[in-house]
Chains A and B, each alone.
Chain A
Amino acid sequence: MASMEKECAGLIDKSKAVVRESFGKFKLDDLAITWTGGKDSTLALWIIRQVCQEDKIKVPKVMTIDEFDTFDEIHDFMDRYATEWKLDLTWMRNNDVIKAAGGKLNNIVKVKDLNERNQAELKRIDYKEDTFPFEAESYTGNHLMKTVMFNMYIEQYGVKAIFQGLRRDEQNARAEDDYFEKKEAAHLIPEHVRIKPILHFTERDLWNTYQVFKIPYCILYEKGYRSLGAKTTSAIAAPGVPAWEQDLEHTTERAGRRQDKEKMMKRLRGLGYM
């Protein structure tokens, strides 16, 4: 146990060094933190907050994206710690898309019902159809609900650099992927730097760290979820088995898509007596 504690402390020190380097490179007002309520961004936020407490500086502003199709448990968790940790938290939500979808998931959205910005965004990703289904994590949904909101936040708040909770092992990114990634300005994308202080953590390291430092997490991880995204795209990996007790080394982290009602109806019919 003692060696695990030491190991986790070492990983955190490495992250803290990245955070401190960021505070040296950027003004506090030019920095922001992304937070989803998931295990990765919560760890990153917790570490940044530690540095701020140690160095007696204010925690940078925090942004989160409400992709509409969300778990209540995540909202509750974020509300609680936004208050407890006194965060300056901004919720970003693409209300134009939600309105065009009539406020209901899976409804068909007509592209012409969207505002100019969202239409331009669809053009940017080369989407040529007249309609798309409103799903948070489809190609179009993901772009409009998340990527666009992220870029708009950076633009509106004049952010120069933003902390993200990405991990190298999760994203299968290049091994040399850097803690600081500069994004050049492009059409509809403002120039900014992405800072990834927990890049070196593996999923196992992460849960060990949560355990050793008693870092709070969303209750869904206790129920068997291993990865949290939109509600309809996050499935329980092992029912009733906390994420950290699962076989992290031999199974994949990204959960499969939850089955839709149509698939279930097909199974009901398959049972022969519908």
Chain B
Amino acid sequence: MFGLYGNNRGLTPFVDSLKDRSMVFTRSQSAGPYTQASFPAILCSGYYLDYGKPEGLAPQRPIISEVLQKAGIYTAGFHSNPYCSSVLGWDRGWDVFYDSLDDDLEDERLSYVRGHTINAKVVQWLSSYVKKKDRAPFFLWIHYMDVHEPYMPERSYIDMVDPGIKISQDEMYTLFEDTLLKRDVSDPARVALLKRLYDVHVREVDSYVQSLFKSLADLDILDSSTVIITSDHGDEFNEHGGLSHDDKLYSELIDVPLLIYGAGSNGVCSKLVSSLDIPPTILHLFGLEPAASFQGRSLLPVGAYVEKGAFGEAIDNKSVKGGDINKDVYFCREGDLKLIYRADPDRWELYDLKDDPGELHDIAQSSKETGRLQSRLKPRIKRWIK
């Protein structure tokens, strides 16, 4: 999606402009295809199913906020994702925590507040915080929800990148209900329109990031800040027969942008890295010791980072035979090879992303590497059941 990764639709002019002062990771992997599966990696440096399948965050799993708070860092989190909310246990360790649950929404159909509201709350807090005498260094986590269904961008952003879209927000919501929610890919024109609306949201979030950077500059803290930009997962537009983000582990859902701005280490890193590495990187940036519970490794300095493969997992709730199940899916990636295991129907897939970036030609039966990668992935399958 980002111009700096080669997308030519001009959706991220601001983030692209950060390139010269950033370390850009070109092969970063999410640890799961949806919020519940990916945030344990981004904020806890662990995997979704480490503690089985609890509702919400496992109480024994430490969040980066708790580790930092214990070290005397002031921690603030601002987001609008109900899956990362206080109700599901994600409010631990934050000195300031905003999850929008107490607020009325502009539009209840969205299920979240838009990025400009998040930014307003952040700036309100930051303006107050930076004035404090002897303030502790702070860690701020912001999560914008806008690049998320039901895909109802505002006209101002549509006009920036795709003024040909003429439908109203009500019509967008109908499109969401009739097509996306039903995972109906039978009409290519509708799928294409959904993708165009998604793209508009990417442009929208780019402008939220720009406005955040401007606020940091206005408060005179941009030059002393390091900013990590990433995403928890992608969305599918019929690359593998579906829409949105369910339980698949193909690149359209798992490949995520990742860049570190302002750490004094600039360039492009093509090592295979994971969202799991973000919390250890944050500790490194604060000059703190690695945390025992964190399974990732610091991305900085990049020269010292040794590739060890990337893993991820999710829960599959829909049986191939119809009806609800509760089976797991896993992936393991090493270099250009990606092995995927689905418990239902007990099936392995292997892709060579170099020759087959679209992951359309399963070579699990023919490749000599299948057995070796299986031996790496097998210990992870249902590992919490002993």
Alpha-carbon gap, A53 to B108, bound state (A): 55
- With A259-B102, A270-B111, A271-B111 as contacts: A241 and B125 at CB distance below 8 Å: yes
Return the CB mask of B63-103 against A: 1 if under 8 Å, else 0.
00000000000001010001101010000000111100111
A-B contact pairs, 18 of them (CB 8 A): A236-B102, A239-B121, A239-B125, A240-B128, A241-B124, A245-B128, A258-B101, A264-B82, A264-B101, A267-B82, A267-B108, A270-B110, A271-B83, A271-B111, A271-B149, A272-B180, A272-B244, A273-B34
Query: Which residues of B line the A interface, CB within 8 A?
Result: 34, 76, 78, 82-83, 85, 87, 95-98, 101-105, 108-112, 121, 124-125, 128-129, 148-150, 176, 180-181, 244-246
CB closest chain-A residue, reference B125: A240
The yes or no answer to A123 lying at the interface (CB within 8 A) is: no
**Which residues of A sit under 8 angstroms from B96, Cβ to Cβ?**
223-224, 239-240
Q: In the complex the two chains form, is A239's CB within 8 Å of B78's CB?
A: yes
Which range contains the number of A residues in contact with the other chain?
Answer: 20 to 34
Q: In the complex the two chains form, is B82's CB within 8 Å of A268's CB?
A: yes
Chain B proximity of A225: nearest CB distance (Å) = 11
The yes or no answer to A174 lying at the interface (CB within 8 A) is: no
- With A224-B96, A261-B87 as contacts: A273 and B128 at CB distance below 8 Å: no
Which residue of B124, B129, B176 has the most chain A CB atoms within 10 A of its CB atom? B124
Within 8 A of B (CB), among A234-274: 235-236, 238-242, 245, 256-259, 261, 263-264, 266-268, 270-273
**Which residues of B sit under 8 angstroms from A256, Cβ to Cβ?**
102-104
Alpha-carbon gap, A242 to B76, bound state (A): 14
Q: In the complex the two chains form, is B95's CB within 8 Å of A240's CB?
A: yes
CB closest chain-A residue, reference B98: A239
Q: Which 8 residue pairs of A and B lie closest in terms of their CB atoms, listed nearest first?
A: A240-B96, A270-B111, A240-B125, A235-B102, A239-B98, A267-B111, A241-B128, A267-B82
Alpha-carbon gap, A236 to B125, bound state (A): 12
Chain A proximity of B188: nearest CB distance (Å) = 21
Of B34, B103, B109, the residue contacting A270 (CB under 8 A) is: B109
Chain B proximity of A227: nearest CB distance (Å) = 13
Chain A proximity of B116: nearest CB distance (Å) = 16
CB closest chain-B residue, reference A224: B96
**Which residues of A sit under 8 angstroms from B95, Cβ to Cβ?**
240
Q: In the complex the two chains form, is A239's CB within 8 Å of B101's CB?
A: no
Alpha-carbon gap, A106 to B109, bound state (A): 27
- With A223-B96, A238-B121 as contacts: A271 and B101 at CB distance below 8 Å: no
Q: In the complex the two chains form, is A238's CB within 8 Å of B244's CB?
A: no
Alpha-carbon gap, A224 to B103, bound state (A): 14
Question: From DSSP, what is the main secondary structure of chain A's interface residues?
Answer: loop
Chain A proximity of B104: nearest CB distance (Å) = 7
Q: In the complex the two chains form, is B125's CB within 8 Å of A267's CB?
A: no
Alpha-carbon gap, A272 to B109, bound state (A): 10
Q: In the complex the two chains form, is A271's CB within 8 Å of B125's CB?
A: no
CB closest chain-B residue, reference A257: B102
Alpha-carbon gap, A143 to B44, bound state (A): 45
**Which residues of A sit under 8 angstroms from B124, Cβ to Cβ?**
238-241
Q: In the complex the two chains form, is B102's CB within 8 Å of A273's CB?
A: no
Q: In the complex the two chains form, is A268's CB within 8 Å of B101's CB?
A: no
**Which residues of B sit under 8 angstroms from A245, Cβ to Cβ?**
128
Chain A proximity of B200: nearest CB distance (Å) = 18
Alpha-carbon gap, A258 to B100, bound state (A): 10
Of B82, B97, B105, B108, the residue contacting A271 (CB under 8 A) is: B82
**Which residues of A sit under 8 angstroms from B111, Cβ to Cβ?**
266-268, 270-271
Q: In the complex the two chains form, is B82's CB within 8 Å of A242's CB?
A: no
**Which residues of B sit under 8 angstroms from A223, Cβ to Cβ?**
96
Alpha-carbon gap, A258 to B101, bound state (A): 8
Chain B proximity of A108: nearest CB distance (Å) = 22
Chain A proximity of B380: nearest CB distance (Å) = 23
Chain B proximity of A80: nearest CB distance (Å) = 21
Within 8 A of B (CB), among A69-108: none
Alpha-carbon gap, A266 to B97, bound state (A): 21
Chain B proximity of A247: nearest CB distance (Å) = 9
Q: In the complex the two chains form, is A267's CB within 8 Å of B112's CB?
A: yes
**Which residues of A sit under 8 angstroms from B121, Cβ to Cβ?**
238-239
Q: In the complex the two chains form, is A238's CB within 8 Å of B125's CB?
A: yes
Q: In the complex the two chains form, is A268's CB within 8 Å of B109's CB?
A: no
**Which residues of A sit under 8 angstroms from B148, Cβ to Cβ?**
271
Return the CB mask of A171-213 against B: 1 if under 8 Å, else 0.
0000000000000000000000000000000000000000000
CB closest chain-A residue, reference B150: A272
**Which residues of B sit under 8 angstroms from A271, Cβ to Cβ?**
82-83, 111-112, 148-149
Of A258, A264, A272, the residue contacting B181 (CB under 8 A) is: A272
Q: In the complex the two chains form, is A240's CB within 8 Å of B76's CB?
A: yes
Alpha-carbon gap, A238 to B125, bound state (A): 7
Chain B proximity of A159: nearest CB distance (Å) = 37
**Which residues of B sit under 8 angstroms from A261, Cβ to Cβ?**
87
Q: In the complex the two chains form, is A273's CB within 8 Å of B246's CB?
A: yes
Chain A proximity of B130: nearest CB distance (Å) = 12
Q: In the complex the two chains form, is A242's CB within 8 Å of B149's CB?
A: no
Alpha-carbon gap, A257 to B104, bound state (A): 10
Alpha-carbon gap, A224 to B244, bound state (A): 36
CB closest chain-B residue, reference A256: B102
CB closest chain-A residue, reference B244: A272
Of A258, A259, A264, A273, the residue contacting B244 (CB under 8 A) is: A273
CB closest chain-A residue, reference B149: A272
Alpha-carbon gap, A235 to B100, bound state (A): 11
Q: In the complex the two chains form, is B87's CB within 8 Å of A264's CB?
A: yes
**Which residues of A sit under 8 angstroms from B87, Cβ to Cβ?**
261, 264
CB closest chain-B residue, reference A255: B102
CB closest chain-A residue, reference B87: A264
CB closest chain-B residue, reference A263: B101
**Which residues of B sit under 8 angstroms from A263, Cβ to Cβ?**
101
**Which residues of B sit under 8 angstroms from A240, Cβ to Cβ?**
76, 95-96, 98, 124-125, 128-129
**Which residues of A sit under 8 angstroms from B98, Cβ to Cβ?**
236, 239-240
Chain B proximity of A109: nearest CB distance (Å) = 25
| Additional A-B contact list (8), CB under 8 Å, known A241-B125, A271-B111 | A223-B96, A239-B124, A240-B125, A267-B82, A268-B111, A270-B108, A270-B110, A273-B34
